[in-house]
Amino acid sequence: MPRGTNYSLAKRAVLRDLRRGSCSRDDVCDAHPELLRAARNVGEPAENSCPVCGGDELYLVSYVYGDALKAANGRCLSYPGELDKLRAKHDEFDRYVVEVCVDCRWNHLTERELHGRRHAV
């Protein structure tokens, strides 16, 4: 299991604020068009439904960041096995996973993980 940060408590707080009316749906359902495009085309279907609209169009999109990644820095993972190839080739980089609903535009950072040869299990 890669080391990292899970943002589920932050997600629960945002959803609680939405239910209480402390923020509006427009405040939390504001995914950028490029994020929606990535979710539709290369995102992995999530196991659960959208926590805001209840729809089934919820995806997980992974982005990688690291100084040594060069051209891959800031890019979303787009094919199976790509993460494994990057792990084997680079000492250290971060993977960020974003939950995205293409129906209502909900999006939330779910986790950040450290990857690479330096963090091999």
Nearest CA-CA partner of 14 in 109, 113, 101, 95:
109
pLDDT of residue 2: 59
* Whole-number Cα distances in Å, 9 to 15, 23, 59: 10, 17, 19
State which H helix or E strand residue 40 sits in: helix 33-42
pTM for this predicted structure: 0.91
CA diameter of the chain: 47
| 21-54 pLDDT tens trace | 999 999 999 999 999 999 999 999 999 999 999 9
**pLDDT averaged per 10 residues, the chain (length 121):** 86 97 96 97 97 97 94 91 93 96 98 90 64
pLDDT of residue 71: 85
Residue 89: domain span: 4-119
Number of domains in the chain: 1
Neighbours of 29 (CB within 10 A): 17
